[in-house]
Structure 1
Amino acid sequence: MAKPFASQGDLEEKTISFTEVGRDLWAFTAEGDPNTGVIIGDDAVMVVDAQATPRLAGKVVEKIRSVTDKPIKYVVLTHYHAVRVLGASAYGASEIVASDTCRAMVAERGQEDWASEFQRFPRLFEGHESIPGLTWPTMTFSRSMSVYLGRRRVDLKHLGRAHTAGDIVAWVADAEVMFTGDIVEYHSACYCGDGHFRDWGATLDAIGAHRPHAIAPGRGDALVGEAKVNEAIAKTRDFLESTYRPAAGVAARGGTLKEAWDAVRAECDPKFADYAIYEHCLPFNVARAYDEALGMDTPRIWTAERDKEMWEALQG
């Protein structure tokens, strides 16, 4: 029987957790669905990644209001993907912050990504009719900027290309906690369809160099303690290398995309087949790894039409 396209068959409601990962720092997680971070300062709240729709973002707001009544002033977007950004309007924030590159990618491919992700993962777009349009950052930066929530300082940093070209992290030094977006995942497949495999490892090294005590990853459980943080970084690195290395080997000898698919499956299935969204991500990951190995530095834009073609060619 053919597999349902991407995550169209994933209709089961996930259990939400709201975990304190440091003083007044929270991770909103849901069994492998996209995570959201919450940073509470002296006078305001910062949200890291917004969810896919205002309705889903409302669930985050409910959790925030269970621990503070301070105003939500900032929404930080770790990257441009629709499932991370289209719920931003629900927070009523005065500023939406992202990297310069993230904003440029919204302009370049945000509409195509919205249509693509809506088709891939309909459950995450519950209440999609309430989305007012593309989410545009109101404040951007190139390498780093600091935001003060009263005395609490949050350092927003572009540490390098990884999941996308414009990824940023939020580092709260007073608690040694980092919100990484999809640069780090835990027991969830990395989506690499817009990624940069050869840069991603150095970006993971830059995260590790901060020696975080806790990480709120892009997907999967909150990670508290040095052992858990190191495990997640190591497993993310293994996932990336196990995807890119076989695909690059096939590309180097002039093999086909389908041969790269077979080689990646042989390497990854025994280790990662039980990870969240593994089958969903695999065709897009292999296609991007193969393209990058052939010298294509900028990922091709995924469209709803291209998604279907790729799925039929590899997962069909």
Structure 2
Amino acid sequence: MTEFTEVAERVWVARYEWFDVNVTLVGGDRGLLAVDTHASALAARGVLDDVRRLGAGEVVGVVNTHEHFDHTFGNGMFRSAYGQIPIHAHETAAARTLEAAERIKGLYRDDPSDPHRDEVLETEVVVADTTFSSAVSLDLGDRAVELVHPGRGHTGGDLVVRVPDVDVLLAGDLVEESAAPGFGGDCYPLEWPLALDIVLGLTTSSTVVVPGHGAPVTRDFVEEQRNAIGIVAETIRDLATRGVPVDQALEVGDWPYLREVLGHAVRRGYEQLPRSQKRLPLI
């Protein structure tokens, strides 16, 4: 059992131990919008129990902040509980959900020791069916909720959810509080700082920012994380421009995060740099 905590008027966040992932409910007089649905059908069943225990109403829509399984694998359970409710996502995230799901199921299939293996493999993947490209407003009756794609960062299909009447922004994994940013094999490290510039433009000094993982944070936290990711991006550019080979970049660079979490970021950054910004290493 996990309690939903009200972080602003009719905005509740539940923080789940597995992945330290957040599920958020935004309430309007038409019902609740659920933002992210956890990492398996079984896990989502527990989320639904917590939603019912809160007693704030019925879920009338779901938002996936991106395609990763810890944010989408509960979609089917929410549909089972509340009918054919719309599931919203950025168009790129929706297009990549099945591919991302197969990749993660393959990893769990190859690791019989993982205690969550069976529940992940047994989860039916339900892809978002209501998509947008840039921004869209959702009508909850007495409240409008904005979905904005600020650019590519953690993935190619990140979105943030803005609840303007109470100055809350749900940032998905563009912002993480409980660990270093998620530089995975599908990240865009060179563009991530620019996406966070857009996110910062949607906030004020009083905004409550809910990250994809961990405790709510302030605008100052987001700015600090943006600057650290910016250092990652500029370090990649600098090393590539100086002709440092990609397989030496981690050791050569002066990084704001542990090298152990930056392998994908460096490789992806080198791949994404235009040819004009790369220099062949001297022999």
2:208 and 2:219 in contact (8 A); partners too: no
Superposed counterparts of 1:223-262, under 5 Å: 223=217, 229-262=218-251
Q: SS at the partner of 1:258? A: helix
Question: Unpaired segments of 5 or more residues in structure 2?
Answer: 276-283
2:139 and 2:110 map into 1 onto residues whose CA distance is 38
- Amino acid in the other structure paired with 2:272: E
1:59 and 1:80 map into 2 onto residues whose CA distance is 21
Q: What are the superposed Cα offsets for residues 194-225 of structure 1, whole Å, 9 maximum, x if unpaired?
A: 222232222212222222521111111122xx
Counterpart of 1:39 in structure 2 is 26
Note the C-alpha offset of 1:47. Answer: 1.0
Note the C-alpha offset of 1:116. Answer: 4.4
Superposed counterparts of 1:1-316, under 5 Å: 18-30=4-16, 33-92=20-79, 93=82, 94-106=85-97, 109-116=100-107, 122=114, 127-132=119-124, 134-193=125-184, 194-212=186-204, 213-223=207-217, 229-264=218-253, 266-268=254-256, 272-273=257-258, 279=260, 281-293=261-273
Aligned length: 267
Note the C-alpha offset of 1:49. Answer: 1.1
| TM-score, normalisation: structure 2 | 0.82
2:170 and 2:23 map into 1 onto residues whose CA distance is 9
2:266 and 2:216 map into 1 onto residues whose CA distance is 28
Note the C-alpha offset of 1:21. Answer: 1.5
Cα distance change on mapping 1:187 and 1:82 into 2, 3 Å: closer
Q: SS at the partner of 1:218? A: strand
Q: SS at the partner of 2:203? A: coil
1:58 and 1:235 map into 2 onto residues whose CA distance is 36
1:157 and 1:267 map into 2 onto residues whose CA distance is 30
Cα distance change on mapping 1:122 and 1:221 into 2, 3 Å: farther
2:108 and 2:120 in contact (8 A); partners too: no
| TM-score, normalisation: structure 1 | 0.74
- Amino acid in the other structure paired with 1:248: R
Cα distance change on mapping 1:119 and 1:177 into 2, 3 Å: farther
**Structure with more relative contact order (C-alpha pairs < 8 Å, separation 6 or more):** 1
Q: SS at the partner of 1:106? A: helix
- The two structures, once aligned, show a CA RMSD in angstroms of 2.8
Cα distance change on mapping 1:204 and 1:170 into 2, 3 Å: same
1:174 and 1:233 map into 2 onto residues whose CA distance is 20
2:69 and 2:100 in contact (8 A); partners too: no
Question: Unpaired segments of 5 or more residues in structure 1?
Answer: 1-14, 224-228, 296-316
Note the C-alpha offset of 1:108. Answer: 5.5
